[in-house]
Amino acid sequence: MRIEKPVVVMFEEPQGKSIVCHLWPPEDWTYQHYALVICDLVRHVANAFEVDEDQVWEWVDKERHKPTTKITEPS
């Protein structure tokens, strides 16, 4: 498989201290497009772990209301 135009790539940084997130929005995309991608991701995660989608959303809401990590700019 070859990925030509990713819109998001996330990975654990080598020291395992944080998650790195790179976004490459197409020119005509807005934050609303990414919101739809996030919803798709929640459904995929629920399916992968064979849990109800609401269980994933519960954890998303917990993190959203009390973040466990900070957003940092690349060095």
- In this prediction, residue 18 carries a pLDDT of 84
Domain assignment present for residue 39? The answer is yes
Q: What CA–CA distances, in Å, run from 54 to 8, 35, 44, 47, 69?
A: 23, 17, 12, 11, 23
In a domain, 16, yes or no: no
Q: Does 8 fall in a domain?
A: no
pLDDT computed for residue 74 by the predictor = 66
Is the pTM higher than 0.85? The answer reads no
Q: Which domain holds residue 40?
A: 29-66
Task: Please check whether residue 71 lies inside any domain of the structure.
Answer: no
pLDDT tens-digit readout, 49-72: 999 999 999 999 999 999 988 887
Q: How many domains does the chain have?
A: 1
